[in-house]
Amino acid sequence: MISLSDISLEKLENISKITLDDLRNPEIFSRLRELVAEIDTYGLLKEANHLLEDLIILLDKNKELIQSDPPLFKDCKRLIIYLKFLAIIAQSTDEIENLFKKHLLLAIWEEISLEERLRLLFLLSSDEVTGENIRRRIIKAMEANEEKIGKENLERGTGNPAVYPYVKNWLRDYISFFSAGKEAREELEQATYLNQNKNVKKLNQGEREILTGVIKLYDFLCFPPAERTEIRATGHIPAITLNPPKTEEINKIGNISKPAVGVNQTKEVSVDETINNLAELKQLAASYPPGSLERKAVEEELRKLSAKG
C-alpha cells in the first residue's frame, strides 16, 4: 500500500506503484487530484506527461474497474483527460481534436489556460501550415461538440424547431446573433451576446460561465491573435501575459521544489521558420515569465538546437 507522503512532485516515480486498492482509498485519490492541480498551477509539462502515462497504464491493467466501480473509473478518466489538456503539445493531432470534440467542458470547468497552451502548440508546430491545420481542426471539433450547456433547448426563432443545448448549437446561436460577414468578434460582441441573447438568459451562473469560456476560446481560434500577424511580418515575438496561479492552490501547496521541465522527448517539436535560430529562440524564451510552461518548452527547443550545432 502506498502512503499519502509517497505522492508528490518530488516522488512521481511512486505513481507507478499505485494499486487498485490504493485507488479505492478516497484519501489517496484525493491526493492524486491535488497533484494534478499542482501540475496545472505551475505549468509542469514533463510531470503532466509522466503522471498521464502512469495513470493510463494503471487503468489498462485494471480494466475490470469499468464494471466493478464505474464512478471510480469515471473519476480516473477525468484525471487522464485533464492531464491530456495540460500536456496538449505532446498529444497527436487526432487526440487534440478528440479532446475538443468530446471533453471541452471539463477543461473549461477546471479553468485550464487553453489559450496559453494553444499559443505554444501553434508556435511549436513544425511549420505554419501544420499549426494552421491544427487550429482549423480544433474549430471543427468544437463545432461538432455535443456536450450540453444548460437544460433547456435553444430557441431559434419563428418557424425553426428548438435544438438541444449542445456546444455546437450554442456556437451556431452565437454566430447567427450577429450580422453575416462580420470580420471579427471581440469582447464587446461577446458581452452583447451574453447579456442580450434570450437563450443565455435561461442559464444559471455556472452554466453561463462555462458558455463564456467556450465562446471566448472559439473566437480566439476563429480570429487568430495579432501576434501571429506580427510574427509573420517582423519576426518579433510579442510577450504573452500569463494568468497568475490560483491563489487558493498556492496557499495550499506552499513552496515546492520543481524538477526540470521540458517537452516530451518522444515527440518531434520544432518552431516556426521565422524563429528557427538560436538568437531568436533566446529572445523568445526571454519574453516569457521565468518558470512558465512556454519558457520551459522554448528553452528545451533551444537546448536541442544547441546540441545540433
Q: Are residues 69 and 130 in the same domain?
A: no
Q: So what's the pLDDT on residue 239? A: 46
All three cell numbers of 303, joined, read 537546448
Q: Which of 178, 193, 224 lies at the terminal end of a domain, its last residue?
A: 224
Q: Are residues 219 and 104 in the same domain?
A: yes
> Is 162 part of a structural domain of the chain?
yes
pTM attached to this predicted model: 0.74
Full pLDDT tens readout for the chain, 309 residues: 788 888 988 888 888 899 889 989 999 999 999 999 999 998 888 899 999 999 999 999 888 898 999 999 999 999 999 999 999 999 999 999 999 999 999 999 999 999 989 988 888 876 677 888 999 999 999 999 999 999 999 998 878 899 999 999 999 999 999 876 566 788 889 999 999 999 999 999 999 999 999 999 999 999 876 544 554 455 554 443 334 444 333 333 333 223 323 333 333 333 333 334 455 566 666 666 666 666 666 666 666 555 555
Is residue 135 located within the same domain as residue 99?
yes
Of 38, 70, 86, the position where a domain reaches its end is 86
Q: What is the pLDDT of residue 226?
A: 54
Same domain, residue pair 196 and 173: yes
Beta bridge partners of residue 33, listed in sequence order: none
User: Residue 233: what pLDDT?
Assistant: 56
Residues 119, 45 within the same domain:
no
Give the residue from 51, 86, 121 where a domain finishes.
86
Does 172 fall in a domain?
yes
255 & 277 share domain: yes
Nearest CA to 114 out of 78, 85, 93 is that of 85
If asked whether residues 150 and 47 sit together in one domain, one would say: no
The Cα–Cα gap between 138 and 140 comes to: 5
Q: Is residue 61 part of a domain?
A: yes
- Total domains in the chain come to 3
Q: 157 with 183, same domain?
A: yes
Q: Does residue 6 belong to any structural domain of this protein?
A: yes
Task: List, for residues 167-224, the tens digit of each pLDDT value.
Answer: 999 999 999 998 765 667 888 899 999 999 999 999 999 999 999 999 999 999 998 7
On whether both 16 and 117 belong to a single domain, the answer is no
pLDDT the model gives residue 131: 83
Residue 137 is predicted with a pLDDT of 96
Flag whether 100 is in a domain. yes
Tell me how far apart the alpha carbons of residues 13 and 259 are, in angstroms, rounded to a whole number: 13
Chain mean pLDDT for the chain: 79
In eight-state DSSP terms, residue 159 is T
Residue 74 forms part of a structural domain: yes
Q: Give pLDDT, residue 279.
A: 57
Residues 160 and 117 in one domain: yes
Judge whether 229 lies within some domain. Answer: no
Range of the domain at 256: 237-309
| Model pLDDT, residue 63 | 87
232 located within any domain: no
CA distance 45 to 296: 9
Q: Are residues 138 and 241 in the same domain?
A: no
Residue 163 phi, psi dihedral angles, 5° rounding: -125, 160
Tell me if residue 166 falls in helix, strand or coil: strand
Residues 127 and 154 in one domain: yes
